[in-house]
Each structure stands twice: as structure tokens, then as C-alpha cells.
Structure 1
Amino acid sequence: MKNIMLVCVAGMSTSLLVSKMKQAAEEQNLEADIFAIPEGEVDKVLAEKSVDVLLLGPQVRYLKGSFEAKYKEKNLPIDVINMTDYGMMNGANVLKHALGLMK
């Protein structure tokens, strides 16, 4: 089971992308828990749940450096979702990127 967390301003704008990523995961017979949360809940969720990769929505890309420093000891891959893939809601490409970060 892969746990993929998407972070955005309010957790709302990524909900469609989460659906597209889940659909892509099903097509690949990949067991994945893909979910979106607002930036203010990251600490709480990471304290309660194991996450394999954290993807930031383009609108919160400025958080990447601080998140990398804050969660360094967790060895958690953190990256920003490609703006084109985000805009086009290309769940397959975003899932592929997330899986690549886990290796």
C-alpha cells in the first residue's frame, strides 16, 4: 500500500486530482491511499499516519523548502506537482511522478 499525500491551500482544489490519481492507480492494480489536505494539517496528519510521499500543489510551492527542513528526519520525499499536470488534472502523470519519488 502506497500512501500519497497532496497538500494545497484548503485541500479542496486537489480533490479532483486525487480522484484522477485513484482512477490511474486502479487501472495499474496499485493499492494506494491518495488523499489531499490543507497545508495547516500536515503536522497533525504526519504525526498520526505514515506517508510515502508528499506532493505540494503549485499554489503552495513556497512551502517545499520549509517542509524539507522540518521533515528531514522522516526521509519523506517532497516535491511540487507539475503545474501543467495539475492544471490538466492529469492524475496518471502525477501518480507516476509520486511513484518515482518513492524509489
Structure 2
Amino acid sequence: MLGPLNEGDYSFDMFANTANCDITDGESLGTVAVSYESGEVLVTYNINKEYELMESNTYAGKNMLPLSKSTNTVQNPGQYSITKDLHGEIYIITHAVVCLQ
């Protein structure tokens, strides 16, 4: 999870195999670029050349975690979405499925 973020351009490292979010044992996959301007969010996955991006899921919104409206539990990555017309501080979650080429 990234944030809270104000409007601007950001770049974050992306890792695989990070049990408990501990990147010291993780493997670098590349970077994620985030552009947040005028209420719109654009996320670009820049994956290292030895990997192929198979699937990406992105959440951007006012809440720290995306919650299901029906059960009030944290959504699965496949249900993530980017909220439209955002203002002020936001949170971003990125998730990717990659394969070695």
C-alpha cells in the first residue's frame, strides 16, 4: 500500500515473494509509476525484461484499504478499481502476476 499521497508524480520499487511485506528477501520486479493530477490517477507497471506481466490490479481511493460494500471486508485484488474524481490525499495498492520469460 502506498500513501497517503497528494497530487504529483511518484515512482515505487516493486517486489515479489515478500512474505509479511519484508523486501529484504524479495525479488525486484521493476517499478510502478503513479501520476495523480486533477483528480485522475494513472498507474504504469514497468516490469524488468526477464519477466512478463500477466495481470495487474490497481486500487486508488480515499480509504486505506478497498472494502467490499456488501461484506465490509477487504477486497481481493481482482476487485480493485481506481475511484474517479479524487481530491486530496489518496491511497494506492498495486498487485501484479508475472512469469519468467
User: Between Structure 1 and Structure 2, whose CA radius of gyration is higher?
Assistant: 2
Answer yes or no: same fold by TM over 0.5.
Answer: no
TM-score (norm: length of structure 2): 0.29
